[in-house]
Amino acid sequence: MPKISRPRSCTRCPYQYKYLNLLGNENISSIQNNCMIIHFKRGENIIKQGTDVTHAFYLAQGLVSLFIEGEKRNLILKIKKAGDYIGLQTLFGDLKYRYSVSALEDSMVCMIKSGIFLETSKKNPDFLFEIMRGISLSYNYMYKKIKDINCKQLRGRMADVLLYFSEELYHSKSFEVPMTRKEMAQFASMSMENAVRILSEYKKEGIITVEGRKITILEEEILKRISELG
């Protein structure tokens, strides 16, 4: 069972959302009084596809994956890291979640009652603007991912995944992959067998090294070229 607690002070929290300072004390108090802090272990579901929208979720610590559940396999859409909201696309536009979210590592999530979050957003246009900007960026990413899945071959899609880890998540050419090989395959929209095969090819070609979950990109420009050519 996830550990549940109440926030003591949102304004003093070291993990607070960077745009919280756009709100007045009354709004911050309202959020704090209608918030729960939930600690999730790796692999635990945070949002379940098809369930009712009840809260806004702020990822204070950890790493999570957003994915669509399918009959045969899942499709991981995006990985979110600490310092961002998750699930707001649905909060502002639907009554049920159209995807699931699970923890890729131990994570801490602030759950704010949806009605309070929406009301606060309506009353604070600067805060709402930043929320909408974040939603827009997420949609732009989703559109690109759909295009890449349709247009790129397997090697290009796996190159995209490795570059995403390197450039977006860890800002390093060497990183510990936060996923199993099966999850990496779901992120690249391919079978696990193909994911393992392509990683092995990249290793033999001297593009990467692989030691368990640790991957080091040796030939970044080649990997980028593979991504561009698809």
Alpha helices in the chain (DSSP H): 25-33, 88-91, 114-123, 125-151, 154-164, 181-188, 192-204, 220-229
CA-based nearest residue to 158, from 181, 185, 191: 185
Alpha helices in 77-124 (DSSP H): 88-91, 114-123
CA-based nearest residue to 72, from 189, 177, 154: 189
Residue-level pLDDT at 1? 59
The residue assigned the tokens 């696990």 is: 192
Indicate the pLDDT class of residue 174, thresholds 50, 70 and 90: very high
130, amino acid identity: E
Q: Residue 115: CA atoms inside 13 Å, Cβ hemisphere, count?
A: 2
94 vs 23, residue with greater confidence:
23
pLDDT tops 70 at residue 221: yes
pLDDT tens readout for residues 55-78: 999 999 999 999 999 888 899 999
Indicate the pLDDT class of residue 7, thresholds 50, 70 and 90: confident
DSSP letters, 50-77, are: TSBP-EEEEEEESEEEEEE--SS--EEE
Residue-level pLDDT at 200? 96
Tokens of 113: 């009652």
Domains and CATH numbers, the chain: 3-145 (2.60.120.10), 152-229 (1.10.10.10)
Q: In the chain, what percentage of residues exceed pLDDT 90?
A: 73
pLDDT tens readout for residues 87-141: 888 888 778 898 999 999 999 999 999 999 999 999 999 999 999 998 898 889 8
